[in-house]
């Protein structure tokens, strides 16, 4: 969930109206001060490689800010590997709204897609677009939460997904 949605979701609409921009500004400064501690998930780059080997276009659909996206792309060494990526600047509303998924699909001229995500917001955004939803339990959400949100399949890790990729629409 992007910052445009998070303050209201956590603190209520009154706090969003009164202090939303101030809170988002403080969060950005604090996060950027610690961004060097972010590490890629095990097998994240390998998943992109495997999906590309299977002929899939890969768009990294993130609601992060541009500066953060640059850091993540460098961490994954994915600039040349991914077909494209999104940031919060590409949309008016971030996940769970469907905007980022729609923009990601537009970037590769896709009419159909499979969303691999690790949050209920990823699953909800994909559901609102009407595409297949696969979840990986790396985002702190439980199996049941992800299924309730609409995930067709839930995997414990990216390694688990890679080992069982033939059980998903991602093998074709």
Number of domains in the chain: 2
Q: For residues 9 and 64, state if they share a domain.
A: no
Give mean pLDDT, residues 38-51.
96
Q: Which residue has the higher pLDDT, 78 or 4?
A: 78
| pLDDT bracket for residue 172 (50, 70, 90) | low
Distance CA 53, CA 92 (A): 33
Instruction: Give the model's pLDDT for residue 119.
Output: 95
Q: Are residues 159 and 148 in the same domain?
A: yes
pLDDT in tens, 103-112: 999 999 999 9
What does pTM read for this prediction? Answer: 0.88
Contact predicate 60/40, CB 8 Å? no
Q: Are residues 83 and 134 in the same domain?
A: yes
Whole-angstrom distance, CA of residue 138 vs CA of residue 156 = 7
Same domain (yes/no): 150, 122: yes
Task: Count other Cβ atoms within 10 Å, centred on residue 167.
Answer: 12
Q: Are residues 46 and 18 part of one domain? A: no
Answer whether residue 124 shows pLDDT above 70: yes
**Rounded Cα distance, 86 and 2, in Å:** 12
CB 78, CB 60: distance < 8 Å: yes
Same domain, 80 and 26: no
Output the pLDDT for position 114.
96
DSSP string, 70-118: HHHHHHHT-TTTSSEE--GGG-SS-TTSSHHHHHHHHHTT-SS-EEEES
Average pLDDT, the chain: 93
Q: Does residue 13 share a domain with residue 66?
A: no
Residue 108: how many other CB atoms lie within 10 Å:
13
Note whether 72 and 128 are same-domain residues.
yes
Residues 120 and 60 in one domain: yes
Is residue 60 over pLDDT 80? yes
Segments forming the whole domain that contains residue 26: 1-37
Beta bridge partners of 117: 135
In this structure, the answer to whether residues 13 and 96 fall within a common structural domain is: no
């Amino acid at each position: 969930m992007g910052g445009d949605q998070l303050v209201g979701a956590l603190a209520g609409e009154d706090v969003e109206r009164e202090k939303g921009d101030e809170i988002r500004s403080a969060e950005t400064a604090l996060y950027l001060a610690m961004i060097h501690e972010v590490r890629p998930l095990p097998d994240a780059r390998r998943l992109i490689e495997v999906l590309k080997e299977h002929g899939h276009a890969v768009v990294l659909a993130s609601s992060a800010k541009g500066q953060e996206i640059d850091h993540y792309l460098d961490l994954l060494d994915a600039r040349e590997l991914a077909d494209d990526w999104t940031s919060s600047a590409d949309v008016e509303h971030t996940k769970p709204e469907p905007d980022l998924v729609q923009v990601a699909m537009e970037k590769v001229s896709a009419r159909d897609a499979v969303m691999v995500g690790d949050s209920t917001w990823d699953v909800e955004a994909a559901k609102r677009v009407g595409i297949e939803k696969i979840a990986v339990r790396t985002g702190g959400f439980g199996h049941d939460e992800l299924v309730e949100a609409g995930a067709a399949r839930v995997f414990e890790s990216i390694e688990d997904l890679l080992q069982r990729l033939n059980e998903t629409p991602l093998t074709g």
